[in-house]
Structure 1
Amino acid sequence: MQTNINNKDIEAILNSLIEGTILVKNGFIENVNDALIQILEYKSKDELIGNLATGVLIPSTTEKFLEFNKHIFQEVNLVSNYGDLIPAILKINDIKIQEQDYKIVTIIDLREFREKDTLLFKQSRLAAMGEMISMIAHQWRQPLSAMSSILAKLKIRTLKSKNEEILNFNKEFDNINNYIQYMSKTIDDFRNFFKDDKQKEYLDINDVIDITITMIKPILDSKGIKINVNKKEELNKIFTFKNELIQIILNILNNSIDAFEENNIKNGKIDINLSYCENYLRIVITDNAGGIPENIISKVFEPYFTTKHEKNGTGLGLYMCKVILEKHFSGTINAKNIEKGSSFSIDIRI
């Protein structure tokens, strides 16, 4: 006995599937489910029904197959409503409905998996950079220590001399020694930053900002960018992740530095203000780098969105700031334009 299936039954079956699904007859789209509409960013299925299936599914230039959950799927590109190509894998099965031959195409959107792969790759690169910094630190430590010792000996000799010109060298010796100590401290800062310890600790937010600024101070000085921190001595220590907080502040400062250069801004200035707002610590970072174009300011925290193609920008910096804040700090980050520049507001739950 054959059971008749009507259009409502077909739609109910299609919409019960979590994968994007297309019902195809003689090469034309007969029906699609809501999951596919969402993937392709259409408003309704009526915009797709009746069209050739090949208008949505574009095979890769070379036939590719991927293993997913121990099954083999063909890799294709989907064409979204806005003309974007979406990487996907599909499987095609032949079925009969009321003695009619159809093909049912199930589709898995690969974008989320690709994003995860990219983030994992980025994390592995950071781990490799951390190892490299540790090796550099090990190689630099002894020469820096030797240089500091030699300078101390020379300074002692000049102090015994009554030659005025030699005595003037003392100031230069002090400057050189300060640079050596700065290099040594910077090595420690970078090495600690790349450690993947993920341990919470009680932190003075003023110290965290000082460390972050120290890491990029040579860049700020070389570009003539002034940075002002409105420190709050009365701020309590917070129990949180040190390196993640440094990464967030560092990303925003680096974006400001890039904006100064791209917009050819002279006399660049960055202000960092700290305050408490209810049960949140608020860090507001502002600059006079020209601001963010209004047509993209709502997208700056999206993954892979970047305006730095010429500099090989990944579009992950601000996205990672948002992810870290939401995941590890129960916090938020917002951006807005102000007069002559932009303002990033970071709220960290305490």
Structure 2
Amino acid sequence: MLQQFKDAIESSNIISKTDTNGIITFVNDEFCKISGYTKDELIGQNHNIVRHPDVDKNNFKELWNTIKNKKIYKSTVKNLAKDGSVFYVNTTIIPILDDNDDIFEYIAIRYDVTKEMFYKEELEKNEVKQKILFAQARHASLGQMLANIAHQWRQPLTELSLTVFNLKKNALSKDEEALQKYYEESKNIINSMSKTIEDFSNFFTPNREVEQFDIKLSVDEALELMDNSLKSSMVDVEFRIQNDLEVLGVANELTQVVLNLLKNSIDAFELNGVLIRQIDITIRRLKDSAEIEFRDNAGGIKKDIVDRIFEPYFTSKHQKNGTGLGLFMSKMIVEQSFDGSLDVKSKKHYTIFSIKIPTA
């Protein structure tokens, strides 16, 4: 029975034994298979024959301190095979004691976790890549917002210039009533421009506080920030609210998504030369979530690219009009920050984006 148990352990695990100096005295077939060495090549060698140079030396100091104190050591270890390939093993090293309670050898039992570790590394690489893409998208979005500020200021600056001219003219004629009128006009224009800066400043404040908020407010803020762009592009927006709904998340991030979708529609209207331009935004309650639906008549999306529009750097626009990151960033925000979904459907001349977020 004991022999059967031993055979079962050896056939299903990677096993080695060393003396108190770390010299290999035994390896099983599984150890040879994963390391690429034969038993003759391993017996009598120091166990560091499979040590990977990337592993911090302090890890091995901790290992030896643990087992020399007659304690069991457990860790996931990165190793190097004979052919230079990498393999990972979950390792348990047990000090074996003699009758005098002294250590006379160590036995290490391992199992292969190479696939799991490679998968984990790939996930970590993808996370880093996504963070870089997200930062690039945020930077591109900042550029768009600065362009919006310039657009928002263009008309009031013209009006202010005309008002200052009238102030000067009436100052010479000493018409106090006219002076007061143009003074008030100037003050109102300056206050309006100041509010524009405040709105954009508030939007880009790095507030990551998760809170419960009404999604209507995020849509309203985006519409206000894009107001001049929508008007100058002659886009009519109809905003319907079927239900007042609250969600949990960062309000500014949802505003960013709405801004991206509005900008996407404006660009599509221009690209496709659509004359009568309509965006319908509807907020409604679903079974256990809130939906924000965006529908535009900007010409739809071609069938051969509709499945790719959320890919990073993919854009159907002219290079100067798009980075290919806006929709990618929007999808990441909805999925990762709100645990929701962002989907698209295109029918004939219409495109429908649907944001679904669990209700708070």
TM-score scaled to structure 2, two decimals? 0.53
Report which of the two structures shows the higher radius of gyration computed on alpha carbons. Answer: 2
**AA paired with 1:240?**
G
The aligned counterpart of 1:223 is 233
User: Does the aligned pair in 2 maintain the 1:126–1:194 contact within 8 Å?
Assistant: no
2:218 corresponds, among 208, 221, 226, to: 208
User: Does the aligned pair in 2 maintain the 1:203–1:238 contact within 8 Å?
Assistant: yes
The aligned counterpart of 1:243 is 252
SS at match of 1:208: helix
The aligned counterpart of 2:135 is 123
Task: Give unmatched runs, 5+ long, in structure 1.
Answer: 1-12, 18-68, 72-91, 96-106
User: Does the aligned pair in 1 maintain the 2:295–2:350 contact within 8 Å?
Assistant: yes
Work out whether 1:194 is the aligned partner of 2:204: yes
User: Does the aligned pair in 2 maintain the 1:129–1:194 contact within 8 Å?
Assistant: no
- Aligned residues, how many? 233
**AA paired with 1:348?**
I
Work out whether 1:348 is the aligned partner of 2:360: no
Distance 1:291 1:191, change over 3 A: same
The aligned counterpart of 1:257 is 266
CA distance, structure 1, for counterparts of residue 277 and residue 198 of structure 2:
28
**AA paired with 1:188?**
E
Work out whether 1:318 is the aligned partner of 2:327: yes
CA distance, structure 1, for counterparts of residue 250 and residue 282 of structure 2:
20
Distance 1:264 1:309, change over 3 A: closer
SS at match of 2:355: strand
Distance 1:292 1:199, change over 3 A: same
Please provide the CA RMSD for this pair.
4.4
CA distance, structure 2, for counterparts of residue 110 and residue 309 of structure 1:
33
SS at match of 2:244: coil
Work out whether 1:305 is the aligned partner of 2:314: yes
After TM superposition, the structure 1 = structure 2 runs for residues 252-291 of structure 1, keeping only pairs within 5 Å, are 252-291=261-300
After TM superposition, the structure 1 = structure 2 runs for residues 109-120 of structure 1, keeping only pairs within 5 Å, are 113=125, 116-117=128-129, 119-120=131-132
TM-score scaled to structure 1, two decimals? 0.54
SS at match of 1:275: strand
SS at match of 1:245: helix
Give CA deviations for 1:109-133 in whole Å, capped at 9, x if unaligned. 9999488457426527847997x98
**AA paired with 2:132?**
L
SS at match of 1:251: helix
Percent identical pairs in the alignment equals 35
Distance 1:221 1:197, change over 3 A: same
CA distance, structure 2, for counterparts of residue 200 and residue 116 of structure 1:
22
Distance 1:339 1:201, change over 3 A: same
Q: How far has the Cα of 1:193 moved from its partner?
A: 2.0
CA distance, structure 2, for counterparts of residue 346 and residue 331 of structure 1:
7
**AA paired with 2:334?**
L
Q: How far has the Cα of 1:294 moved from its partner?
A: 1.1
Distance 1:122 1:321, change over 3 A: closer
User: Does the aligned pair in 1 maintain the 2:133–2:325 contact within 8 Å?
Assistant: no
